[in-house]
Chain A
Amino acid sequence: MVRSAGPGEKRHNLHLVDGSRVAVIGGGPAGSLVSYFLLEMAERSGLELDVEIFEPRNFSCVAPKGCNMCGGIISETLVQNLAAEGINIPSTIVQRGIESYMLHMDVGSVRIETPLQEKRIGSVYRGAGPRDLKDSQWGSFDHHLEQLTVAKGAHVTRKRVVEVSLDDDRPKIAVKGEQPQFYDLLVVAVGVNSAALKLFTGNGQGYKPPESTKTFISEYYLGEETIEKTLGDSMHVFLLNIPRLEFAAIIPKGDYASVCLLGESIDKKLVQSFLDSPQVKACMPDGWSSDPRSCQCSPKISVGAAIRPYADRLVFVGDCGVTRLYKDGIGAAYRTAKACATTAVFEGISEANFRRHYWPVCQSISTDNSIGKLSFAVTRQIQKWRFARRALLRMTEKEQNSAGRRRDMSQVLWDMFTGSAPYRDIVTLALHPRFLARLAWELALSASPFTRAEN
């Protein structure tokens, strides 16, 4: 029920009207949030939409049936943004509030406290939990978002979409065993791990999925009490000189610890050398063994931006469009989902509308990722040079141990690890002459033979 473009009519005149049907393929955070905001904004402007989410997985099931393969960190920025939108994340969903980050290196470890002494980062499970979970007091984050969307009026169809046709005037999609249905707008939010992406490549729309790389995530059952004693309410991040390892973290959850590795061609050997490192052993309980694992997966993550993630009545949101480099993927899903919904309700659903109002948000994430790549290149150098690691440790320790001191390095590391700030802000702070002067001083001290002997 869209005012269709007639012959000769310009395509930017496509709009959603009362009774328009929207299909959303994928019910993860991007799919749920785009549906939520479509319905919320339609309600604000007195529009009645019919939103249907196609998601074969039931996120309230334990892995892998309900899992969305992710480290499961809700960033500080996202927690605040969602609260400002009226979406508060209940304690039954947050496995653990994170109040500090522990940075581990071969030269020592340092705790970086949250700037406000308040828990504003949450660790969650995207599904109900790992494979061997028997009983849990926590729920799934993705299921929670899906329920909020259903409460807004969306319908969820637990079936896999097997056919998409964009040749007619309106998108046509079919689920297994059923007749194809026409929709006025098709939103694709399938991430980069779904086979459904193949439905959109090479169909003449010009869409090309983003580049991706493999990660590694594994879950270890430790029990709530042991987690409390060992990992506590801190996320543990590692800067170790292991080739191809870009970033590694151990995230405390309710009864489990999630190990996440990011890097280039992550394989068994790399995973094992990380798990066997003395820094990891020191975080985990005495006698801990890296085998057996409760659950493990090697999902792909997007490290680039899709080409042409929009067309008339078609738009890609979340990871299959663009996401933030290595961090805050759910935050990027929120931003793209909201930009998509705002465009569709208030501007229109033509290619021109999405290019003008939706694409700039994707581009800003993409541009920031380029700066992020630069930041990670610097981090790689720090990983390689022991004296640089020592300088970083000393600078951070001094800031954390003296009250009232400017905490520039702590802020840079906090934002880098938590994904709370854009990479542009992190680099701006790191290029400040005061920061550079202090870093140069610490580097000189660390490189000096006297200090090395002292250490």
Chain B
Amino acid sequence: MGKGDLGKTYSDGEVITRQGDVGECMYVIQKGKVQVVVEKDGVETPLRVADEGEFMGEMAIFDREQRSATLRAVGEARLLTIDKKNFLKRIHKDPSLAFQLVRTMSKRIRELSDEIARLKINLNREQAAIDERENSDY
């Protein structure tokens, strides 16, 4: 870690926060990349890789649920922690402080909507192909 580096450095593959943990902070990637992984029934599914400058774990700021995904460093990554309690206090005094965060969340909802649409189209196509095959069998 360089002398002027702010935040905490994680080595390649190191877990930053684990799915199911209670989140008391969010992160801002200062350097490197972070992989978002969802674990279900013992199977890990990588969702996406986040880049420098991105907010991570921001849902913990607004809800009291457990972390919905595991964050893992891809290569060496450096992240700055933003404490939930103090951040909420500051948002209360200056609501516009949450603007970038809301913009990020809005962008992610848009990306998720696109992803759902893409999956639905694929699913419909597959269903149509199955129906067509079944019809031709008759």
Binding site for B on A (CB under 8 A): 41, 44, 77, 79-81, 83-86, 88-97, 116-120, 122, 138, 224, 228, 233, 254, 335, 338-339, 342
Contact B4 A88 (CB under 8 A): no
Contact B4 A138 (CB under 8 A): yes
What 4 A-B pairs come out closest when comparing CB atoms? A94-B4, A91-B4, A83-B28, A118-B8
CB neighbours (8 Å) of B3 from chain A are: 95-97, 224, 228, 233, 254
| A84, A86, A342 — most chain B CB neighbours (10 Å) | A84
Out of A77, A86, A342, which one reaches B86, CB within 8 Å?
A: A77
Per the bound structure, the CA–CA distance linking A88 and B98 in Å amounts to 16
Out of B5, B82, B83, B90, which one reaches A97, CB within 8 Å?
A: B5
Q: Mark B67-105, 1 if CB is under 8 A from A, else 0.
A: 000000000000011110011001000101111110000
| A86, A96, A122 — most chain B CB neighbours (10 Å) | A86
CB neighbours (8 Å) of A224 from chain B are: 3
Interface size on B, residues (CB 8 A): 25
B25 to chain A: closest residue by CB: A116
Per the bound structure, the CA–CA distance linking A95 and B4 in Å amounts to 5
CB neighbours (8 Å) of A80 from chain B are: 80, 82-83, 86-87
Binding site for A on B (CB under 8 A): 2-8, 28, 30-31, 53, 80-83, 86-87, 90, 94, 96-101
CB neighbours (8 Å) of A77 from chain B are: 86, 90
Contact A338 B6 (CB under 8 A): no
CB neighbours (8 Å) of B90 from chain A are: 77, 81, 84
Contact A81 B97 (CB under 8 A): yes
Contact A119 B100 (CB under 8 A): no
Some 27 contacts from A to B, beta carbons below 8 A apart, are A80-B82, A81-B90, A83-B82, A84-B28, A84-B82, A84-B90, A84-B97, A85-B100, A86-B53, A88-B30, A88-B80, A91-B4, A91-B5, A91-B6, A92-B4, A94-B5, A96-B3, A97-B6, A118-B7, A118-B8, A118-B80, A119-B8, A120-B80, A228-B3, A233-B3, A338-B94, A338-B96
CB neighbours (8 Å) of B7 from chain A are: 118-120
Add 14 more A-B contacts to A91-B5, A94-B6 (CB < 8 A): A80-B82, A80-B87, A81-B90, A81-B97, A84-B97, A86-B100, A88-B53, A91-B6, A91-B31, A96-B4, A97-B3, A117-B8, A338-B94, A339-B94
Number of A-B contacts (CB under 8 A): 80
Per the bound structure, the CA–CA distance linking A79 and B6 in Å amounts to 9
Chain B contact residues: over half helix, strand or loop, or mixed? mixed
CB neighbours (8 Å) of A138 from chain B are: 4
**A32 to B: closest C-beta gap in Å:** 18
**B24 to A: closest C-beta gap in Å:** 10
Out of A84, A97, A117, A338, which one reaches B100, CB within 8 Å?
A: A84
**A302 to B: closest C-beta gap in Å:** 21
Per the bound structure, the CA–CA distance linking A328 and B49 in Å amounts to 35
Per the bound structure, the CA–CA distance linking A378 and B97 in Å amounts to 34
Per the bound structure, the CA–CA distance linking A41 and B94 in Å amounts to 14
CB neighbours (8 Å) of A338 from chain B are: 94, 96
| A88, A338, A342 — most chain B CB neighbours (10 Å) | A88
B91 to chain A: closest residue by CB: A84
**A33 to B: closest C-beta gap in Å:** 13
Contact B99 A44 (CB under 8 A): yes
Out of B4, B31, B96, which one reaches A342, CB within 8 Å?
A: B96
Asked, given contacts A94-B4, A138-B4, whether A85 binds B97 with beta carbons under 8 Å apart, the answer is yes
Asked, given contacts A95-B4, A97-B6, A138-B4, whether A118 binds B82 with beta carbons under 8 Å apart, the answer is no
CB neighbours (8 Å) of A120 from chain B are: 6-7, 80-81
CB neighbours (8 Å) of A88 from chain B are: 28, 30, 53, 80
CB neighbours (8 Å) of A116 from chain B are: 81, 83
CB neighbours (8 Å) of B5 from chain A are: 91, 94, 97, 119
Contact B97 A119 (CB under 8 A): no
Asked, given contacts A81-B90, A88-B28, A338-B96, whether A122 binds B4 with beta carbons under 8 Å apart, the answer is yes
CB neighbours (8 Å) of B96 from chain A are: 41, 338, 342
CB neighbours (8 Å) of B97 from chain A are: 81, 84-85
B8 to chain A: closest residue by CB: A118
Per the bound structure, the CA–CA distance linking A339 and B87 in Å amounts to 17
Per the bound structure, the CA–CA distance linking A81 and B94 in Å amounts to 11
| A44, A80, A122 — most chain B CB neighbours (10 Å) | A80
Contact A97 B4 (CB under 8 A): yes
**A361 to B: closest C-beta gap in Å:** 8
A119 to chain B: closest residue by CB: B6
Contact A84 B6 (CB under 8 A): no
Contact B4 A79 (CB under 8 A): no
**A368 to B: closest C-beta gap in Å:** 12
CB neighbours (8 Å) of A228 from chain B are: 3
